[in-house]
Structure 1
């Protein structure tokens, strides 16, 4: 961790100096027009099991939520378990082609060696409905949640965790391979380790072993998926962290695994105009700076790192504080259109970006709190017993985007690029977009 902090500090110093040089480069008078993303581009929505399903089975996260340590109790989240059909219709109405969900290990294997067909039947129905609605499922195998009986065995500190993880995930693959899903093996591995540290699932001394086991789990299920689906598309989505730490962080997981496409989660920006903050780490996500052009820099970074692999934005969205207007007056529809503009710029510049998922379809339980609202449909879990899905202004904006394959060619973002971005230094500062 100390080494990582030093790398971040060094990177920040480099880009601060580079920014003084970059600032003298004259901006072009008019940015280029942006052609649409094309009929093969995949627009989607994202969700996760524990965060949205309700009726949570015994797991590491249901135990944490019930421990009193979380900011808010879990209640019953947004009850996707009972409202899946109507939520799938909401996604279909947006015109998207991909629906991301989780098949929760804790739900389908409540005890060691015991799998429950009744709970698999829920996912059977959901995935069939996704397909019937004209969408392709994107199945996340592990979104930071594992069964309570695995907690009792030590979680990721347990040397047998990988074998037990693979035993379940092979069943999931076998059951749903017929639907030709896109696969995400492990959601944000680095953040997963961070969450385990924060919730007490492991201590600092256990971090290297958890990374090793996540690598073994990913590569094991990657090989298995390809043995039964030779043409499968498999990834593990990376949570992009501004500041230049990405090359160091990648050595723990991404540089050690096989991928068919690069899954990227991108949320926050940082530059000389808007220096980085600790807001995402302390839970006030809505106060963190959003610089939409940062998604271009992130895509360019991964395109250069993985020149033979396509890129997919698995998660992107904008948080608000309990649905209130952000202090920077950035509205969800404007943010969505601005982001899609930069996707089109990336595509026009030859970057092989193939898809984009909005996080998330509805508000949900953001790992201990209902305050951070990311939903394109907002839900007042704590105050509305009907859990009504209320459309935000991004709903009609997304419909128009999916219908037209992007924003109009002459669209201009509502936010100008920041000075000397440190999303992916030094290139994001020395090679700025205008």
Structure 2
């Protein structure tokens, strides 16, 4: 998941950034998008294909607990986050329980991270006990009838790599690839889906925010992420020629086509599918998306029709690539009802409706992962809750997984391969969505 914690005083600046970006993009996109026609009204939904991949998503550092030394653990210990991570939801020791919860939803994909900091705690030293943990985790996922989606880098690297400069150091790509090849060689026989680098643009932003790199070092970090992605893509395909490999993108409303020039465009020939994460929307009537870069994520708008526009945008820009929603969900504040009245189950059904609409309009979307199976450490805070199962880390020492209304909704969705043909969203489409810039406004969907 993207970053949710910021240092005090960033909120007003964040809003100014979003408003400024919106103004700029409204002018730019008029020359970027070709003339379009209005979308056809819905006549009724077809279910998704039998091989559509329903899944859930998580990350290592955010959920495992028992965190070894890493760049992010140091960030927490330095007091630069709202909460201490502690044991998080203790996925490290409760993974069998969580795998069973995922399987009970009827999903077929479970996204997990394999943490470099956990398996190589010191340079060249491999922790065999931690490798055995990941071996057992992968075996449990497969035994439960699911396919692993393995993330090689979810923004976390060993403390000793941080000591050497992290992504500011030219030595990091070789070290990263040594570890990534180890993981690939160990699990390629399971034919997992692969995510090489989680949300590259957000990764860079977080490295700046925590002081790991200076703004002037951004081009070098991006170049290094491009290089390691391309190299590990080749290695994965040597081990498993039929592998499906991507790097998921945090879809930023209005500006994503510009952001994609830095990474996605440069690795497009080494992406087997476009992985995207969709969370927040923007329109002239609601520009509160700026909350997404502050510590109040639950106040950001989450209009579900924005997912349709993000999918359609990628289908137009990368027409030969299938699309997979690697992350999507809705934040609440400590599990309390949202101010806009949107319930998690309704939001999930609405998102699936728009996926079905996209498929009906010819968009080759092949999978969807809900973020996340359980609440977890949202990069600095336990306040934002995204889980299908809620866990009160701060007040419940038993870390009980309590189902939200979205659990029953997801079970019904996976059983029926979508929402019913007569379903209509609980919220109308935005009058002028700007998720994909002017394209989504002048080519609306009803």
Change (3 A) 1:186 1:15: closer
Q: CA deviation at 1:157?
A: 0.6
**Mapping of residues 246-261 of structure 1, within 5 Å:** 246-257=256-267, 258-261=270-273
- Whether 2:389 is the aligned partner of 1:377: answer yes
SS of 1:43's equivalent? strand
> Counterparts of 1:324 and 1:188 in 2: how far apart (Å)?
28
Paired position in structure 2 for 1:157: 168
Paired position in structure 2 for 1:364: 376
Paired position in structure 1 for 2:33: none
Matched residues, number = 426
Paired position in structure 2 for 1:101: 112
- Whether 2:334 is the aligned partner of 1:322: answer yes
Indicate if the aligned counterparts of 1:15 and 1:420 stay in contact, CA closer than 8 A.
no
> Counterparts of 2:361 and 2:123 in 1: how far apart (Å)?
50
Q: CA deviation at 1:13?
A: 4.5
SS of 1:35's equivalent? coil
Change (3 A) 1:142 1:27: closer
Change (3 A) 1:123 1:421: same
1:82-120 CA-to-partner distances (Å, cap 9, x unmatched) read: 100000000000000000000000000011111122111
Paired position in structure 1 for 2:25: 11
> Which of 118, 122, 130 is the matching residue for 1:119?
130
- Whether 2:290 is the aligned partner of 1:278: answer yes
Indicate if the aligned counterparts of 1:15 and 1:429 stay in contact, CA closer than 8 A.
no
- Whether 2:283 is the aligned partner of 1:267: answer no
Tell me, which stretches of 5 or more residues in structure 2 are unaligned?
1-15, 31-35
**Mapping of residues 133-282 of structure 1, within 5 Å:** 133-243=144-254, 245-257=255-267, 258-282=270-294
Change (3 A) 1:423 1:118: same
Q: CA deviation at 1:273?
A: 2.5
> Counterparts of 1:141 and 1:148 in 2: how far apart (Å)?
17
Change (3 A) 1:339 1:199: same
1:268-312 CA-to-partner distances (Å, cap 9, x unmatched) read: 111122224310111210000111000000000000111111000
SS of 2:289's equivalent? coil
Indicate if the aligned counterparts of 2:189 and 2:240 stay in contact, CA closer than 8 A.
no
> Counterparts of 2:285 and 2:23 in 1: how far apart (Å)?
17
> Counterparts of 1:287 and 1:365 in 2: how far apart (Å)?
18
Tell me, which stretches of 5 or more residues in structure 1 are unaligned?
17-21
Paired position in structure 2 for 1:19: none
Moved over 6 A (4+): 2-7, 25-28
Change (3 A) 1:335 1:422: same
The TM-score normalised by the length of structure 1 is 0.95
Indicate if the aligned counterparts of 2:69 and 2:159 stay in contact, CA closer than 8 A.
yes
- Whether 2:405 is the aligned partner of 1:393: answer yes
Q: CA deviation at 1:31?
A: 2.9
SS of 1:278's equivalent? helix
Indicate if the aligned counterparts of 1:274 and 1:418 stay in contact, CA closer than 8 A.
no
1:169-213 CA-to-partner distances (Å, cap 9, x unmatched) read: 000000000110000000000000001111111111111110011
Paired position in structure 2 for 1:64: 75
> Counterparts of 2:437 and 2:361 in 1: how far apart (Å)?
19
Indicate if the aligned counterparts of 1:4 and 1:248 stay in contact, CA closer than 8 A.
no
Q: CA deviation at 1:400?
A: 0.3
SS of 1:212's equivalent? helix
1:354-388 CA-to-partner distances (Å, cap 9, x unmatched) read: 00000000000000000000000000000000000
> Which of 393, 397, 402 is the matching residue for 2:414?
402
Q: CA deviation at 1:32?
A: 1.9
**Mapping of residues 26-65 of structure 1, within 5 Å:** 31-65=42-76
> Counterparts of 1:247 and 1:408 in 2: how far apart (Å)?
33
The TM-score normalised by the length of structure 2 is 0.92
> Counterparts of 1:138 and 1:280 in 2: how far apart (Å)?
26
